[in-house]
Amino acid sequence: GSPDAEQVGSVGLVEMLHRSNLLAIVGGGSHPKFPDASVLIWDDAREGKEKLVLEFSFPKPVLAVRMRHDRLAVALQSRLFVFSFPHRPTKLFEFDTRDNPKGILELCPSSERALLVFPGHKCGSLQLVDLGSAKPGTSSAPVTINAHQSEVACAALSPTGAVVASASRRGTLIRLFCTQSRTRLLELRRGTDPATLYCLAFSPDCSFLCAVSDKGTGHVFALRDTRLNRRSA
């Protein structure tokens, strides 16, 4: 059953926790019932009207929400929040970011590694935080990858969190880095014309990467046998 339109109104963002009954909803669109600065958790397994089980409120509009089995991460224009989730949620972390109008934020789903990725303070950089080893309330030295010369437009984490892929606003190159050593593993050329990349996604076994842009095309890159990429369309 889809969230009841009367109860929820129009929606600006929706994220599902893996393939579960929990959805995170942010109001938006033409007839929202809830503010765009709140995240509502909808439990579709519940009977009747009591499906809205949690609400998180923020000082500014929510631009992105990411969930994993034990954490919820929320991006505002220049701040990130991380909560324990879904039982008795408490705020664990708050991070300041550079201006992040696209709400770039990725959270690794793997139970082995609770890795969070978002834009660093320097133009073109990515910041990595291992939520498993970081202590709430402390500021440890940030792990930063200088990925691009211009602003980061898009980022994705591999399913295990071992690799991060990113593209800049130019959208011509996609770079892949090892999240452990921060070394660059691969550089993939999407094309020579600048393009806005909307989405990067790894295949489950990490052997392919898909990129979708405003050119109306999707590119699939081979990550293991990169010789295939010369012929790929």
pLDDT tens digits for range 3-54: 566 677 788 888 888 888 888 999 888 888 888 999 988 888 887 767 888 8
Q: What is the pTM of this model?
A: 0.86
- Kindly tell me the burial class for residue 88, based on how many C-beta atoms sit within 10 Å of its own C-beta (0-12, 13-18, 19 or more): exposed
Which two structure tokens, joined as six digits, stand for 24?
Answer: 């995170």
Phi/psi at 144 (nearest 5 deg)? -120, 140
Q: What share of the chain is helix, strand, coil (3-state, %, to 5)?
A: 5, 50, 50
- Output the pLDDT for position 142: 72
Please tell me the least confidently modeled range out of 131-135, 152-156, 179-183, 195-199: 131-135
> Taking the C-alpha atoms of 99, 122, 134 and 158 in order, what is their torsion angle to the nearest 10 degrees?
90
Q: What is the pLDDT of residues 164-204, one digit of tens each?
A: 999 988 888 899 999 999 999 999 888 788 888 888 999 99
- Output the pLDDT for position 221: 92
Domains with residue ranges and CATH for the chain: 1-62 (no CATH), 103-228 (2.130.10.10)
* Dist CA 141 CA 118 (whole Å): 15
117 has a pLDDT exceeding 50? yes
1 has a pLDDT exceeding 50? no
